Amino acid sequence: MTESTRPMRRQDIRRENEKAILLAAEKVFAEAGFGGATMQLIADLAGLPKANLHYYS
């Protein structure tokens, strides 16, 4: 099985989710500021359920 066709391991999925959350959070905080940023906005932009943000915190 080649690198590109192998299924993602849990560790790979975790890294991808963490990366998506951090990138989304950076964008939300830059646009909305500290007072306007919400967990839901970050989750929506990251394409993940809000519960995942709590799981990865």
Residue 17 placed within a domain: yes
What pLDDT does residue 6 have?
A: 74
Domain count, the chain: 1
Inform me whether the pLDDT recorded for 1 exceeds 90.
no
Please return the burial class of 5, using the count of CB atoms within 10 Å of its CB with bins 0-12, 13-18 and 19+.
exposed
pTM of the model: 0.82
Residue 37 placed within a domain: yes
Residue 42 belongs to domain with CATH number: 1.10.10.60
Residue 43 placed within a domain: yes
What pLDDT does residue 52 have?
A: 95
Distant-in-sequence, close-in-space partners of 46: CB < 8 Å, separation ≥ 6 = 17, 20, 21, 23, 24, 25, 52, 53
Domain of residue 36: give its range. Answer: 10-55
pLDDT in tens, 2-56: 566 778 799 999 999 999 999 999 999 999 999 999 999 999 999 999 999 999 8
Residue 39 placed within a domain: yes
Residue 1 placed within a domain: no
